[in-house]
Chain A
Amino acid sequence: MKKIEAIIRPEKFNIVRDALTELGYPGMTVTEVKGHGSQKGISEVWRGRRYRVDLLSKIKLEIVVKEEDVDKIVDTISTEAQTGSIGDGKIFVLNVENVYRIRTKEKDNTAI
């Protein structure tokens, strides 16, 4: 089992979710996060003065899936969330040791 952690633009969240629903996925956790990549933020204006915003709003999706589903989900997210402009986000894929469903105490693949 793998966990896909995708950090995407908030503007793209709805379209990514629609596409994932179409594809099918077991479940997801969504968090509003703040962060920056290599450019370290953008500038904004407050009362006529420009200042640098180091941390930008992003959406983090976490989806735990069976190993064989990883590729198509990663592919869908990366095509849908891409704009070609800096700050499109990243996808990390991590190993997951165990999964338990609390209601039934099922384990691993059946519990996803």
Chain B
Amino acid sequence: MKYVYNKFMIGIWLLLIIGLFVFGMGVVEAAGDPNGSNTYSDSIEGLKISINVVWTLIAAFLVFSMQSGFAFLGGFLRQKNMLNYLAHCFIDSTLGACVFYFFGFAVMFGGAKTYSGLDVGWSGLGWDGFMLLGDAYDVKTVMFWLFQMVFATKTVTIIAGAVAERMKFVPYVIYSCLMCGIIYPLYGHWVWGGGWLSTLPIGNGVVDFAGCAVVHTVGGIMALMGAWAVGPRKGKYNPDGSPNAIPGHNMTYVVVGCFILAFGWFGFNAGSTVAGTDLRISIIATNTFLAAAAGAAIMLFFTWKRQGFVDVSFVCNGALAGLVAITAPCAYVPPWSAIVIGVLAGLIMRGTVSLVEVKLKIDDPLGAVAVHGANGMWGMLAVGLFADGTYGINGLILGNGEQLLAQFIGTIVAFAYALAFGGAVFFGLKGTIGLRSSALEEEEGLDIAYHGTSCYPVEEGLFGAVGEQVIDVQAEKEQLSLLEEAISKDRTREKIYSEKLGRWVYGKAK
């Protein structure tokens, strides 16, 4: 709080606001159609436009609601880190949105020429529509901005689950800004903003209806790099490398979160027509749901067979895997393919969880890599396999392999892109300001350490005195650093094999 009130910060805020104001005055002359009077007319054409705008806005609101779904997935985490995870979700959808407004949107859609004010841009990079000024101050362009903004902020949050419970706060904020400002928009420009992947002269170019590559592959692989760079949570791996289960704190949240995400996904996919007059939306919404249902159903039987009981956490992840995988193909495939895509998505998710956890030894608490990364790639390829020609794309089931090749290129590029950017950002931050919380912060929980309070504060009755009190902050700090040192030494102790526990433990030299 003290930073908000201090005079220096007030100066900065004032400057920023005055700057925006002056800048805005200069360009207010050149506007698109800010009140819609030129866009709308009392004809059938005008009504069509209204339907499209209303549809897209409703879809954007639905996609926005997915953020609460993500927030609820924090049930997979331990209670002591929940507030920190929620803070990440909130930063992504607020600060991230501002960054996307100032910068990201122009990089992504400059040169797309789909709406007013998005004229300047090249096949590698867009450069128009900054701050929705000038010609971009237009009802349709702004509608499109809102829809795209919620996509961008969702992508950023994918990583929050993978680095949860152990990452310092400042590097997360930096990552969040970079992701919304440049990493997500740049690849997005290549596929959605008229960039080189979309104009690839193979098949119809790279096709990604609602973002299997743009959102999920990029998000999931960035998550892989983030989780790798920050390292596993304390206690995730035994000294001999075998993984331990770290149970979450609330499965109700997880299930509710899944329902909310699935609900929002209707907007994510069907809204990507950006047109309510495009009646394909009914097929898209149905495909979306079927893939989720199939992904969950396969995990129901799979875990039942393999583990002897129905593992609800995997059933939920199966549904999410199906949703991710159908994101690109939803518009181009028939409903039966949605089922096939969903079933395979569930299995791919399960396989990737083992791969990441056991083979790569990367700790991904929410399974972001398995759900988003692996299935984003599978969904991209599924377009090339199952597109049945009824919505303009011909896949392998029509004997046309070209689209599959285009999809393959798009996927590989997304994978390499995210690997490179993820590596640069996370290892770069690790090498400079550091990524990892201290051992003590991690032990007592990031909620108290970074946010000053627990996510679930204790009942009132237990507090002796609530209110401002004189505290010797200096003495408290000294004691804290002593504790910090002692706790961080715990992990560097001698490793002893315990016959009784059947595993390696950290022992104290006798």
Interface residues of A (CB under 8 A from B): 10-11, 14-15, 18-19, 21-22, 24, 34, 41-46, 48-55, 79-80, 82-87
In the complex, are the beta carbons of B479 and A86 less than 8 A apart?
A: yes
B463 adjacent to A53 (CB under 8 Å)? yes
- Which A residues are CB-close (under 8 A) to B508? 19, 79-80
Q: Which of B456-510 contact A (CB under 8 A)?
A: 457, 462-469, 471, 473, 476, 479-480, 482-483, 486-487, 490, 496, 498, 500-501, 505-508
B466 x A51 contact (CB < 8 A): yes
Q: Is the CB of B486 within 8 A of A50?
A: no
B44 CB contacts on chain A under 8 angstroms: none
* B440 at interface by CB-CB < 8 Å: yes
B452 beta carbon closer than 8 Å to chain A: yes
Please, which residue of chain B has its CB at the minimum distance from the CB of A80? B508
13 interchain pairs, CB-CB under 8 A = A10-B444, A11-B443, A15-B506, A18-B505, A18-B506, A43-B469, A49-B467, A50-B469, A50-B471, A79-B508, A82-B486, A83-B483, A83-B487
Q: How far is the CB of B440 from chain A (nearest CB, A)?
A: 7
Compute how far the CA of A84 lies from the CA of B486 in the bound complex, rounded to whole angstroms: 8
Nearest A residue (CB) for B500: A21
A85's partner among B443, B482, B496, B505 (CB-CB below 8 A) is B482
Of A22, A43, A44, A51, the contact of B496 (CB 8 Å cutoff): A22
Interchain CB contact under 8 A, B462 and A34: yes
Least distance between B83 CB and chain A CB atoms (Å): 12
User: B448 contacts the other chain (Cβ, under 8 Å)?
Assistant: yes
Say yes or no: B483 contacts A52, CB within 8 Å.
Answer: no
Verify if B453 is at the interface (C-beta below 8 Å from A). yes
Whether A85 touches B506, Cβ cut-off 8 Å, given contacts A18-B501, A50-B471, is no
Q: Would you call B476 and A43 a contact (CB within 8 A)?
A: yes
Q: Which residues on the A side are within 8 Å of B473 (C-beta)?
A: 43
Measured between beta carbons, the chain B residues less than 8 angstroms from A51 are 463, 465-469
**B16 contacts A by Cβ under 8 Å:** no
| A21-B500, A85-B480 given; 17 more Cβ-contact pairs under 8 Å | A11-B444, A11-B487, A18-B501, A18-B505, A18-B507, A19-B507, A21-B501, A22-B498, A22-B505, A42-B476, A45-B453, A50-B471, A51-B469, A52-B464, A52-B469, A54-B463, A86-B479
The answer to whether A44 and B452 touch across the interface, beta carbons within 8 angstroms, is yes
Closest Cβ of chain B: how far from A112's Cβ, in Å? Answer: 18
Residues 426-445 (chain B) with a chain A CB within 8 angstroms:
440, 443-444
Q: How distant is A10 from chain B, measured CB to nearest CB, in Å?
A: 8
B235 interface residue (CB < 8 Å to A) = yes
Q: Give B473's nearest chain A residue, CB to CB.
A: A43
Find out whether the CB atom of A48 lies under 8 angstroms from the CB atom of B467: no
* Shortest Cβ distance from residue A50 to the other chain B in the assembled complex, whole angstroms: 6
| A52 near B448: Cβ-Cβ < 8 Å | no
**Residues in chain A near residue B468, CB distance under 8 A:** 49-51
* Among A21, A52, A55, A83, contact of B486 (Cβ-Cβ < 8 Å): A83
List, in ascending order, chain B residues with CB within 8 A of A85's CB: 479-480, 482-483, 486
Q: Is B1 an interface residue (CB 8 A)?
A: yes
Q: Which residues of B contact A44 (CB under 8 A)?
A: 448, 452-453
Q: Do B453 and A84 have beta carbons less than 8 Å apart?
A: no
Note all chain B residues with C-beta closer than 8 A to A18.
Answer: 498, 501, 505-507
CA of A22 to CA of B505, assembled, Å: 9
Instruction: Looking at the assembled complex, report how far the CB atom of A52 sits from the nearest CB atom of chain B, in whole angstroms.
Output: 5
Q: Chain A residues near B471: list those with CB within 8 A.
A: 43, 50, 52
Measured between alpha carbons, how far is A11 from B485 in the docked complex, in Å? Answer: 13
Q: A84 vs B484: C-alpha distance in the bound complex, in angstroms?
A: 11
Considering the chains assembled together, what is the distance between the CA atoms of A50 and B471 in angstroms? Answer: 9
Residue contact B462 to A55, C-beta cutoff 8 Å: yes
Min Cβ gap A66→B in Å is: 19
A55 nearest in chain B by CB position = B462
Question: Which of chain B's residues have a CB closer than 8 A to the CB of A86?
Answer: 479
